[in-house]
Amino acid sequence: NAGVMQNPRHLVRRRGQEARLRCSPMKGHSHVYWYRQLPEEGLKFMVYLQKENIIDESGMPKERFSAEFPKEGPSILRIQQVVRGDSAAYFCASSDQGGFGANVLTFGAGSRLTVL
Amino acid sequence: AQSVTQLDSQVPVFEEAPVELRCNYSSSVSVYLFWYVQYPNQGLQLLLKYLSGSTLVESINGFEAEFNKSQTSFHLRKPSVHISDTAEYFCAVHRNSGGYQKVTFGIGTKLQVIP
C-alpha cells in the first residue's frame, strides 16, 4: 500500500499561470481532504470531497480555486491565475470513511507550490 | 467553532533532556485530540490521539500526552528526547460534523534537539 500519493512534489509557476495538484488516496479510501500550509502557519482546511462530490468547500477561496474527485483517477486541486500569495504547501489526506470512530486522516507528503 | 493554541512556536532542548510542548483548545462541542509530527519536507504523521477512556495516551516512540478537560489542555511530553525527534509538532482537534471529520490544527511547535 503506497499511502497517499501527491504529485508534483514541487511546482513552480509564474503569476497568471495555472497550477494543478494531484492526490491519489490510499487504496480503499474514498474520502479526500485538502489542506494548505502557509509559511509559519498551521494547516488550514480547504475542501472535503467524496467520489464525484464536493461535501464541504468552506475553506476554499471564492475565486480561482477548484477541486474535484472523479469516479476514476486522482483528486485534483486546481488554482487558476496564480498569485504570489498562493505559494504554500498543499497537503492531501484521505480516510476510508467519513465518520470518526478510530479513523484518522492519512496525509500525503505535500505539493509545494512556488509562484514567481 | 473550535480553536487550538500552541503557545510555543519553537522549543530548543538538549539531547536526553525532557520536553513539554503545550497545547490548549477551545470548542463548544465534544472533540477528539491528536498530535501529529511533520519531519522536514514530509507530510504529517499521526503521533498519538485521545478519543476516550484513559486520559494519558502514549506513542510508540516514547511521547505521551494527557487530556485535561478542566484546563482544556493536551500537552505533549517526552522524558528524554533524541536527535531524531527534531521535527514540527502539530496539535489538532477533530470533531464529527455531518458524518465527516472537521480538523482544526494549531500553528505548530518546532522542536529542535541540540546534541
- Judge whether residue B11 has pLDDT over 90: yes
Q: What CA–CA distance (Å, rounded) separates B69 from B108?
A: 21
**Which has the higher per-residue pLDDT, A41 or A1?**
A41
- Partner-chain contact B107 A31, CB within 8 Å: no
**Residue environment code for B88-112, b if the CB has 16+ CB neighbours within 10 A, otherwise e:** bbbbbbbbbeeebbbbbbbbbbbbe
Q: What is the mean pLDDT of residues A52-74?
A: 93
Question: pLDDT tens, B91-100?
Answer: 999 887 777 7
Q: Average pLDDT of B36-40?
A: 91
Lowest mean pLDDT across B7-16, B34-43, B62-71, B79-88: B34-43
Residue A101 confidence (pLDDT): 52
Could you tell me which chain A residue has the CA closest to the CA of B5? A42
Chain B residues lying within 8 Å of A43, measured CB to CB: 44, 90, 105
d(CA A38, CA B23): 20
Q: Which residue has the higher pLDDT, A48 or A39?
A: A48
CB within 8 Å: A44 and B105: yes
Higher confidence at residue B99 or residue B31? B31
* pLDDT the model gives residue A93: 92
Contact B27, B95 (CB under 8 A): yes
- Decide if pLDDT at A95 tops 70: yes
**In chain B, which residues have their Cβ closer than 8 Å to the Cβ of A7?**
none
Considering only CB atoms, which chain A residues are within 8 Å of B44?
43, 91, 93, 107
Is B43 close to A91, i.e. CB distance below 8 A?
yes
B9: contact with A, CB 8 A cutoff: yes
Tell me how far CA of residue A78 lies from CA of A27, A34, A41, B52, B57, in angstroms. Answer: 23, 11, 22, 38, 39
Residues of A in contact with B34 (CB under 8 A): 104
Locate B75 and state its grid cell. 500537552
Going by pLDDT thresholds of 50, 70 and 90, the confidence category of residue A18 is very high
CA distance A61 to A76: 15
Q: Given an 8 Å threshold on Cβ–Cβ distance, is B100 in contact with A99?
A: yes
Chain B residues whose CB is inside 8 A of the A38 CB are: none
pLDDT at A100 over 70: no
Distance CA A80, CA A103 (A): 33
CA B30 – CA B51 distance, rounded (Å): 10
Which residue among A40, A48, A109 sits closest to B100, beta carbon to beta carbon?
A: A48
What's the mean per-residue pLDDT of chain A?
90
Cβ neighbours for A93, distance < 8 A, ≥ 6 positions apart: A4, A32, A33, A34, A35, A105, A106, A107, A108, B44
Percent of chain A at pLDDT exceeding 70: 92
- CA distances A35 to A48, A83, B19, B22, Å, are 9, 18, 28, 23
Query: Angle A107-A113-A115 (CA atoms, 0-180°, nearest 5)?
Result: 165
pLDDT at A5: 94
Residue A104 CB coordination number (10 Å): 18
pLDDT band at A1 (very low <50, low <70, confident <90, very high): low
Burial class (CB in 10 A: 0-12, 13-18, 19+), B72: middle
What was the pLDDT predicted at B30? 78
